[in-house]
Amino acid sequence: MEYSLSEILSSYKGTQGELIPILQKVQAEFGYLPEEAMNRVAEFCRVAESKVFGIASFYAQFRFVPLGRTQVTACRGTACHVRGAPQIVDELKRQLGIEEGETTPDLEYSLETVACIGCCALAPCLVINGKVESKMTPKKVKELLTKGGQV
């Protein structure tokens, strides 16, 4: 990580105004913002570590844990909601043992929710590693997650 981080920082001057672009590059490189990287960025930009964390936690684009190999996104849009999205999300949480925005300890699954994925006619929907799964039910969630141990 040290080499990649040094390479990222080498293209900046170390000013406070560069914090967000630096954090974006760090996340693009590592997939999330590791604590040691944020501490190094704080030192490089000559600001308190708490300021870097404050900025990173303010913006929804930044993550503090790596994403799982399998990314599960549940739609909470109106069409999905009225057709059972809350039950789908509850079943995902039960099956995966995590909450929205979390990743399983083995880094296999990440669970996110979004306002709408634009597949209203197929509601309720999930997107799993970019593939839309339509007309979901809690039973279908369980089947997807137990099918060979993989989604």
Domains in the chain with CATH codes = 2-58 (1.10.10), 70-149 (3.40.30.10)
**SS3 per-residue string spanning the chain:** CHHHHHHHHCCCCCCHHHHHHHHHHHHHHHCCCCHHHHHHHHHHHCCCHHHHHHHHHHCCCCCCCCCCCEEEEEECCHHHHHCCHHHHHHHHHHHHCCCCCCECCCCCEEEEEECCCCCHHHCCCEEECCEEECCCCHHHHHHHHHHHHCC
pLDDT of residue 51: 95
Residues lower than pLDDT 70 in the chain: 1-2, 147-151
- Which tens digits make up the pLDDT trace of 128-151? 999 999 999 999 999 988 764 444
pTM: 0.72
pLDDT of residue 148: 42
Rounded Cα gap, residues 121 and 51, in angstroms:
44
pLDDT of residue 65: 86
